Amino acid sequence: MVLIRDLTIQGVQMLLVVLLAPLFTGFVRKVKARLLRRQGPPVIQPYRDLIRLTRKDVVLAESASWLFRVVPYLVFAATWVAASLVPTFRTGLLFSWSADLIAIIALLGGARFFLALAGLDVGASFGGIGSSREMMIASLAEPAMIMIVFTLALIAGSTQLSSIAAFMSSSGVGLRVSLALALVALVMVAIAENGRIPIDNPATHLELTMVHEAMVLEYSGRHLALIELAASLKLILYASVIACLFAPWGIESSGASKPALFIGVAAYVGKLAIAGFLLALFETAVAKMRVFRVPEFLGAALMLGLLATLLLFVSRGL
């Protein structure tokens, strides 16, 4: 009985993230448009786009190989698995022990690895420019993320996301300098990883500034739909990670009363709305950087993460 309930909750979580993801993206776009005093497309536009894309033919470049056709499914699968292991409305998910935060980051790294390969597969120069820049950004964002994980793991005594979230919602955390540094670094990494302004612009197809869009330039039809969905999933994943680590209120821990679950879901949706609004606000307020300013931005994130870890290492001995 307990197993069935846990399985249901895990299943609900998997469906919830994949269903909410386009909505979240649409919400961010809408807020951004309103902030720019535009009407903007309706919030559900991403769903329409996805459905439209899945109905269209795939137009495959003549030089594309089998890898190019497999990658969308791989990327989607890896991102989805990662997203379904992040506690959204409830900690202690059935399979959350199968991967800790380091493994979740590595899963996303795997998705990026294959997407970058797909960018090189057709043999067109835009795919190459996208892949090469994406890997440069990742080479700084990933270590920064690992440093953030170190900080959290040292504070909570665990790398399991569920345990960290449970610890963060307990009263024993207090105010810590390391946590503040880690939060700033995590937001910077999340912006970079999702290709948002000021690192990359998800709305642009201006050749010289784009990274992610250049990498997937040759995709079309259902393949593109999957990649777009995976990108939305990744955005909601980072929003969920930040929410469950730094705003763990309302996450239901283990008791399975139905009202608590509803509160959990409602709190989650509320947190996503706030996160989406803040993201849109930030994106309208800053300008996009030149590509070679990005290392400075991410280097700062890496240094903040390292500083947070170092503080914990040093303070542990006192």
Partner 1 sequence: MTLAVILICAAFLLALAPFALVTRPVQVASRLIYGASLAVSVASLAASLAHLLAAAPAETIALPLGIPWLGAHFRLDALSGFFLIVVDLGAIGASLFALGHGLHETAPERVLPFYPAFLTGMTCVVLADDAFTFLLSWEFMSLTSWALVMAHHRVPENVRAGFIYLVMASFGTLCLLLGFGLLAGSDGHYTFAQMRAAHPSAAVGAMAMLLVLFGAGSKAGIVPLHVWLPLAHPAAPSHVSALMSGVMTKVAVYGFIRIVFELAGGPAWWWSIVVLTLAGVTTVMGVLYALMQHDLKRLLAYHTVENIGIVFIGLGLALAFKAYDMSFAAALAFTAALLHVLNHSLFKSLLFFGSGAVLAATGERDMEHLGGLIHRMPQTAFVFLVGCVAISALPPLNGFVSEWLTFQAILLSPQLPSWGLKLLVPAVGALLALSAALAAACFVKAYGVTFLGRPRTQAAKAAVEADSFSLAAMMLLAALCLVAGILPGLFIDAIAPASSALIGARMPAQSGLQWLSIIPIAASRSSYDGLLLFLFMIISGTLAASAIHRFASDRLRRAPAWDCGYPDPNPATQYSAMSFAQPIRRVFGSVVFQAREVAGMPPPGDTRPAWLKVELRDLIWDYLYAPLAATVGSAAERLNRLQFLTIRQFLTLVFGALVILLMVLAVWS
Q: Footprint of partner 1 on residues 296-315 (CB under 8 A)?
A: 302, 305-306, 309-310, 312-314
What single-letter amino acid sits at 299? G
Q: Is 231 exposed, middle or buried (0-12, 13-18, 19+ CB in 10 A)?
A: buried
282 CB contacts (<8 Å, ≥6 apart)? 191, 197
* 6 near partner 1, rule: CB under 8 A: no
- Compute the least distance from the CB of residue 173 to partner 1, in Å: 17
* 124 near partner 1, rule: CB under 8 A: yes
In the range 50-109, which residues lie near partner 1 by CB under 8 A? 54-67, 73-74, 76-78, 80-81, 95, 97-100, 102-103, 106-107, 109
Nearer to partner 1, 81 or 244 (CB): 81
Q: Is 285 exposed, middle or buried (0-12, 13-18, 19+ CB in 10 A)?
A: exposed
- Compute the least distance from the CB of residue 65 to partner 1, in Å: 4
* 15 near partner 1, rule: CB under 8 A: no
Question: For 252, phi and psi rounded to 5 degrees?
Answer: -80, 135
Question: Could you tell me if 127 and 119 are in contact, meaning their C-beta atoms sit under 8 angstroms apart?
Answer: yes
Nearer to partner 1, 38 or 56 (CB): 56
* 262 near partner 1, rule: CB under 8 A: no
Q: Is 98 exposed, middle or buried (0-12, 13-18, 19+ CB in 10 A)?
A: exposed
Nearer to partner 1, 125 or 281 (CB): 125
In the range 210-229, which residues lie near partner 1 by CB under 8 A? 217-218, 221-222, 225-226
Closest of 58, 25, 31 to residue 44, by C-alpha? 25
Nearer to partner 1, 278 or 310 (CB): 310
* 45 near partner 1, rule: CB under 8 A: no
d(CA 306, CA 12): 36
Question: Could you tell me if 295 and 49 are in contact, meaning their C-beta atoms sit under 8 angstroms apart?
Answer: no
Q: How many CB atoms neighbour CB 301 within 10 A? A: 26
* 289 near partner 1, rule: CB under 8 A: no
Nearer to partner 1, 100 or 283 (CB): 100
In the range 188-207, which residues lie near partner 1 by CB under 8 A? 207
* 255 near partner 1, rule: CB under 8 A: no
* 176 near partner 1, rule: CB under 8 A: no
- Compute the least distance from the CB of residue 158 to partner 1, in Å: 5
Question: Could you tell me if 161 and 255 are in contact, meaning their C-beta atoms sit under 8 angstroms apart?
Answer: no
* 10 near partner 1, rule: CB under 8 A: no
Q: Which region, judged by CB under 8 A, interacts with partner 1, from 125-133, 244-252, 265-273, 279-287?
A: 125-133
d(CA 203, CA 254): 40
In the range 130-169, which residues lie near partner 1 by CB under 8 A? 131-133, 135-136, 138-143, 146-147, 150, 153-154, 157-160, 163
d(CA 216, CA 206): 14
Name the region of 304 (left: φ>0; alpha: ψ -120 to 50; beta: rest).
alpha
Nearer to partner 1, 164 or 272 (CB): 164
Nearer to partner 1, 222 or 282 (CB): 222
Q: Which residue intervals of 157-176 are DSSP H helices?
A: 161-169
